[in-house]
Amino acid sequence: MLIDCRTCSIRATGCADCVITVLLASPPIDAEFEPDLAGSVAVVEFDPQEHSALAALADGGLIPPLRMSRDEEDGLASPEPDVSRRAARGNRQGLNVAPARCRRVG
């Protein structure tokens, strides 16, 4: 799972309740290595085990769910909602992006 906050269509309004902001405080890009992108947000990548752990924490109400949403204009389809364990029971607080439906950007 690859999360690039620069491509999130709800970044301006959704950061306050985003698991990436909670866990990593929207990590800035280091100006020394990427001067053109200084002050931007880095790309965060989760492997399947980390994604599963985040889903379990979100399902338990310990962290906010991942709400990554991409703009349609960038040529990438918006991720389809994941049917997590909690969502399957009628509560929609699971992660919104299923690992099988994510694809790498770039």
Whether 20 has a pLDDT exceeding 60, the answer reads yes
Strand partners, 65: none
In this predicted model, which residue has the larger pLDDT, 77 or 14? 14
pLDDT band at 105 (very low <50, low <70, confident <90, very high): low
Tokens at residue 34, please? 């990427």
- How large is the average pLDDT for residues 63-77? 58
Mean pLDDT of the chain: 61
pLDDT for residue 79: 42
Q: CB under 8 Å to 60, separation ≥6 — which residues?
A: none
pLDDT band at 25 (very low <50, low <70, confident <90, very high): low
